[in-house]
Chain A
């Protein structure tokens, strides 16, 4: 059985949801899973501490989250251990001790299966893909002490306005595109998101981010974020390949678009054809009733 090290993330002293997913993925690979988290520090200090623990503990596999922080940390650790990382993995199996990772490549237009042969094997898992099991919630990670924070110093984190969920972490995403016509109309989507009671975030296509209507942090797609929520509602978005790259692994996709031939309907599980300005307020009303 493999010895697996799960590298978790915390912010403001609390483990982030993705950490439980990391533990769940790690448990698939080995009977023996240890979990660690870095004390608040710069990325360099954390990478040194994790790499040293990986060596001293003789781990066969390291599992990270493919978040902004994990995608930064994993290659730093990998470099110290002389291996590459299988990044943003959506499926993970162990075939007679060899780790086989599945990961989307070419903007999600293909899935690559790779044997991760490094000693240790290092993977990072895509958020929202490995549904945390009950046992994962019990994890008590060891906090690694970081000797020196390193040369790269985190001076501040400008947090998004309180109560705003990040699209990369939301269970439900309500995304809007050029069909919204003007920035103020995003209020319609914010109301729909609000009806989900704190589980939903508002996303955007690149067209409206480039137009300055929405922040880049909200952009879904190849040059934005990759998301896998339980429910993705694309509103007034045509469904360009670069947009699909960021959201096609969502569990359920709904599209609302006035053009019945819009490519978004090809990936949507459910589509409604028509004017978003009529449909969305009605949908908000219905969702409110359910959650009311």
Chain B
């Protein structure tokens, strides 16, 4: 099994968001960066598929700043075989531009599977995987939470509103993965040592401007100061009155 996994370096979900002085981007000072959590599921799935097949290669690819090498090393420490960094100042705002660069880097090889996260937890775009699939001409299933592969045929489950969709697809394919697919492993010390010696190729890329332009990044409007209605059962009557008369939701 030859598998590519696309991983993005993102701010940790606990990060306190401070807006940069340009009013358009995150102030990165003091921010801790991690591998996008959904991409961890993708790396884990790739490793398990390769282990099951008994042979193959897992290649991780990231588009981003030089510091994304750390993210790649984390995946190598989990067990991936080699890494590729498409180095740019930052990941482009327009996911189509990111997808173009990623697709171009994947194109020369042939892959059994190309895995992505369902979404990146910084931009919440939900689309790079599906666009790459289209650009590579491969079938794509998004938000996979259960996966069976038998030879060149796959069956995946994905959550939709009010149910679970079961889909069949042929390999090679692009999958974007959701939580629930597996439990990602932690890199062991041995893995961390080994990762230092694994190949990591760096290629400079120039993302285009694309068709989405950030004009402002701002904190969400503060929710109107809430109130503690009271303590214990005694407060329930007043709560119901407020929901009915003030909030008008009952």
- In the complex the two chains form, is A79's CB within 8 Å of B160's CB? no
From A75, A253, A260, A273, give the contact of B95 (CB < 8 A): A75
From B169, B210, B229, B243, give the contact of A252 (CB < 8 A): B243
- In the bound complex, residues from chain A placing their C-beta under 8 Å from that of B215 are 100, 113-115
User: Within the assembled complex, what's the spacing in Å between the Cα atoms of A148 and B162?
Assistant: 26
A76 interface contact, C-beta 8 A = yes
CB-nearest residue of chain A to B132: A79
- In the complex the two chains form, is A279's CB within 8 Å of B232's CB? yes
Contact mask for chain B residues 214-241; partner A; CB cutoff 8 A; 1 contact, 0 none:
1111111001101111111101110110
B26 interface contact, C-beta 8 A = yes
CB-nearest residue of chain B to A150: B139
Give the A-B contact count at a CB cut-off of 8 A: 265
From A44, A157, A251, A282, give the contact of B139 (CB < 8 A): A44
A184 interface contact, C-beta 8 A = no
From A68, A109, A158, give the contact of B166 (CB < 8 A): A158
- In the bound complex, residues from chain A placing their C-beta under 8 Å from that of B99 are 79
User: Within the assembled complex, what's the spacing in Å between the Cα atoms of A109 and B140?
Assistant: 31
With an 8 Å Cβ cutoff, the count of chain B residues facing the other chain is 84
- Residues of B with Cβ closer than 8 Å to A? 11, 13-17, 19, 26, 37-38, 93-97, 99, 121-131, 133-135, 139-143, 145, 155, 158-170, 179-180, 210-220, 223-224, 226-233, 235-237, 239-240, 242-244, 247, 249-250
- In the complex the two chains form, is B213's CB within 8 Å of A157's CB? no
Binds B, one of A25-33, A83-91, A137-145: A83-91
Contact flag A87-B170 (CB < 8 Å), given A216-B179, A254-B239, A270-B242: no
- In the complex the two chains form, is A169's CB within 8 Å of B249's CB? no
Contact flag A274-B235 (CB < 8 Å), given A150-B139, A216-B180, A223-B37: yes
From B122, B140, B142, B219, give the contact of A111 (CB < 8 A): B219
A4 to chain B: closest CB distance in Å?
Answer: 17
From A116, A168, A269, give the contact of B247 (CB < 8 A): A269
- In the bound complex, residues from chain A placing their C-beta under 8 Å from that of B236 are 272, 279, 282-283, 286
B148 to chain A: closest CB distance in Å?
Answer: 12
- In the complex the two chains form, is B231's CB within 8 Å of A286's CB? no
A217 to chain B: closest CB distance in Å?
Answer: 5
- In the bound complex, residues from chain A placing their C-beta under 8 Å from that of B96 are 78-79, 82-84
CB-nearest residue of chain B to A85: B127
Most B Cβ at <10 Å: residue of A159, A172, A272: A272
A231 interface contact, C-beta 8 A = yes
